[in-house]
A and B are shown apart, each in its own frame.
Chain A
Amino acid sequence: MAAKFQPGDRVRIRVGSPPGHFRTPAYVQGKTGVVEVLHGAFPNPESLAHGGDGLPKQFLYLVRFDQTSVWPHYLTTLQDKLLIDIYEHWLEPA
């Protein structure tokens, strides 16, 4: 199974609040960024945390955001970035 995204792709983080454990913070949900790195495939923490085997593995990406697009009051003259590792099933093309 191939990775859906490559470095340079624009992606939007899905919005969601599944009942169990997950690793996508609320503050990046719904935001659009760019894939910086494709780390490879890793066991899914949402399965591992509840006694599962972590399969199927999910591709994991370092996604880069402009801080000004994440926070409404971030100073727009700054070029600051926010980078976070997100699993593929939380990403959609933007």
Chain B
Amino acid sequence: MMEQRVHDRGGWPDAGLIDRAEHTYAMWEKRTDAIRGLLGAKHIIRTDDLRRAIESIEPVKYERLSYYERWLVAVEALLVEKGFLTHEEVDRKMEEWQTCER
């Protein structure tokens, strides 16, 4: 029997009813989409890279994260892999931004 990876969902058992509620995209989701699009246009991240990085997300996390959360995790992992930034830089930037309020 072959291993079926977490992203390979065709025929996945116990899939349940489809939740048809639609949410308005949050600004950060549009921003994530835009950043990914720009990085693609600049030939920094290919569609195939993004898919590979999303597929590499640990299975429990893959199923728990929302769609754009998976994208952001994958984009960050690829930017680190390709030497554009480090996770620590992102952590520091987040902290810096928070301590800089008003």
Contact between A and B in the complex (any CB pair below 8 Å): yes
Residues of A within 8 A of B (CB): 15-17, 20-21, 25-29, 45, 48-50, 71
Closest chain-B Cβ to A22's Cβ sits at a distance in Å of: 10
Contact partner, B52, options A16, A20, A27, Cβ 8 Å: A20
Do residues B10 and A26 form an inter-chain contact, with CB atoms below 8 A? yes
Majority SS at the chain B contact face: loop
**Given A15-B2, A29-B2: A50 in contact with B52 (beta carbons within 8 A):** yes
The reply on B4 being an interface residue by CB < 8 A is: yes
Closest chain-A Cβ to B12's Cβ sits at a distance in Å of: 9
**Given A15-B2, A26-B2, A26-B4: A45 in contact with B11 (beta carbons within 8 A):** no
Chain B, residue nearest A51 (CB)? B49
Do residues B2 and A49 form an inter-chain contact, with CB atoms below 8 A? no
Do residues A21 and B55 form an inter-chain contact, with CB atoms below 8 A? yes
Contact partner, A25, options B3, B10, B48, B52, Cβ 8 Å: B10
Closest chain-B Cβ to A77's Cβ sits at a distance in Å of: 20
Do residues A45 and B2 form an inter-chain contact, with CB atoms below 8 A? no
Closest chain-B Cβ to A3's Cβ sits at a distance in Å of: 22
Chain B residues positioned under 8 Å from A29 (CB to CB): 2
Closest chain-A Cβ to B79's Cβ sits at a distance in Å of: 14
The reply on B51 being an interface residue by CB < 8 A is: yes
- Known contacts A25-B8, A27-B8, A49-B52; 6 further A-B pairs (Cβ under 8 A): A16-B2, A21-B55, A26-B4, A26-B8, A26-B11, A49-B48
Q: In the complex, A29→B52 CA distance in Å?
A: 20
Do residues B48 and A45 form an inter-chain contact, with CB atoms below 8 A? yes
Chain B residues positioned under 8 Å from A45 (CB to CB): 48, 51
**B 30-50 to A, binary, CB cutoff 8 A, 1 in contact else 0:** 000000000000000010110
Show 21 residue pairs from A and B whose CB-CB distance is below 8 angstroms, ordered by the A residue: A17-B2, A17-B5, A20-B52, A21-B48, A21-B52, A21-B55, A25-B8, A26-B3, A26-B4, A26-B8, A26-B10, A27-B10, A27-B11, A28-B10, A29-B2, A45-B48, A48-B46, A48-B49, A49-B49, A49-B51, A50-B52
